[in-house]
Structure 1
Amino acid sequence: MIDHIGIGAGDFEASRRFYEAALAPLGLGVMMEVTPEQTGGYHGLGMGRDGKPFFWIGNDGQRGAGMHVAFGAATRAEVDAFYAAAMAAGGRDHGAPGLRVHYHPNYYAAFVLDPDGINVEAVCHAPE
C-alpha cells in the first residue's frame, strides 16, 4: 500500500494552481502545507482527503517528466470533470476521457500533462 507520493515542481505556484483545480472534482484538496521557514528551504503542499495528505508537490525544482500518477475517481463523471478542470488550469491533453478496454472492460480514464510534463490520470474502474 502506498502511504503518499511526492513530486518535484519546476514552478511550484504553477503546479499548485494546476493540482488544486484539477483534483477538486475528485474531492481532493490541500490538507497540509509546510513552508521553507519550517523546513529550512523545502516548500511542500500535501493534498488528499479526510485529513490525510497523500499527494505532495514540492519546490525542489526538479521536473518530473516520465513520472505517472493516477488518482481514483468514483464515477466516470468525475473523470470527465477532472479532465475539464485540468485542461482549464493549463494542463495539456494526453488522452481524453474514455474507455481503455485493453486494461479491463470498465477502465474509464483521462490523461493530462501537468506544468512539468508529469502524466496525471484520473481513472474509474466501476461499470457505468
Structure 2
Amino acid sequence: MIDHMGVAVSDAKRSKAFYEAALKPLGMKCLTEVPAEENGSGGAAYGFGVEGGGEFWVGDNERVGEGTHVAFRAETRAQVDAFYEAAIAAGGRDHGAPGLRPHYGPAYYAAFVFDPDGINIEAVCYAAE
C-alpha cells in the first residue's frame, strides 16, 4: 500500500499551479505547503490529496527524473475528460486524449498529459459506462 509519493520538478511553484488545475476535477487540491527554508531538500514542496497531509507531492531542488509516470484514479469517465481538459488548459501537453485503452483492460478509460517538466500523468477510470 502506498502512503504517499513525490516527484521532482524543476519549478515547484509552477508545478503547484499546474497540478491545482489538473487535479481539481479528481477532487484533489493542495493541502500542504513546505517552504524551501523548512524542507530538507532545500526546495519548496507541495502535497496534494483529498484530505489529510497529501498523497502526491511535487518538490524542486531535486533531480527531475526521466520516465516518471503517475496515474490518478478517477471515479467516472467524465472526471477523466475534465482532468484532460484542465491539464491542457493549465499548460500540459497531450500524450493521449481521453478514450478506451482495451489493451490495458476492457473498461480501461484514460487520458495522458505531460506536465510542465515532461512527467507523464494519467487519469484512469475502470468503470464501465
Q: What TM-score, normalized to structure 2?
A: 0.94
| Secondary structure in 2 matching 1:90 | coil
Is the contact made by 1:64 and 1:117 (CA closer than 8 Å) also made in structure 2?
Answer: no
Instruction: Give the equivalent residue in structure 2 for 1:47.
Output: 48
How far did residue 98 of structure 1 move? 0.1
Is the contact made by 1:4 and 1:54 (CA closer than 8 Å) also made in structure 2?
Answer: yes
Q: Is structure 2 residue 39 aligned with structure 1 residue 10?
A: no
> Number of matched residues?
128
Greater Cα offset, 37-46 or 11-20: 37-46
**Cα distance per residue 1:47-73 (max 9 Å; x no partner):** 001224110000124223310000000
Q: Which runs of 4+ in 1 moved over 3 A?
A: none
Q: In structure 2, how many angstroms separate the alpha carbons of the residues matched to 1:95 and 1:64?
A: 21
Where does 1:4-83 land on structure 2 (aligned, <5 Å)? 4-39=4-39, 41-83=42-84
Mark the runs of 5 or more structure 1 residues left unpaired by the alignment.
none
Identity of aligned residues (%): 61
| Secondary structure in 2 matching 1:24 | helix
Q: In structure 2, how many angstroms separate the alpha carbons of the residues matched to 1:119 and 1:77?
A: 20
Instruction: Give the equivalent residue in structure 2 for 1:86.
Output: 87
Q: What TM-score, normalized to structure 1?
A: 0.95
Q: In structure 2, how many angstroms separate the alpha carbons of the residues matched to 1:11 and 1:71?
A: 21
How far did residue 16 of structure 1 move? 1.1
| Secondary structure in 2 matching 1:18 | helix
| Secondary structure in 1 matching 2:38 | helix
Q: In structure 1, how many angstroms separate the alpha carbons of the residues matched to 2:12 and 2:34?
A: 13
Mark the runs of 5 or more structure 2 residues left unpaired by the alignment.
none
Is the contact made by 1:107 and 1:125 (CA closer than 8 Å) also made in structure 2?
Answer: yes
Q: In structure 2, how many angstroms separate the alpha carbons of the residues matched to 1:75 and 1:16?
A: 24
| Secondary structure in 1 matching 2:81 | helix
**Cα distance per residue 1:18-71 (max 9 Å; x no partner):** 111000000000111111222352311000012241100001242233100000
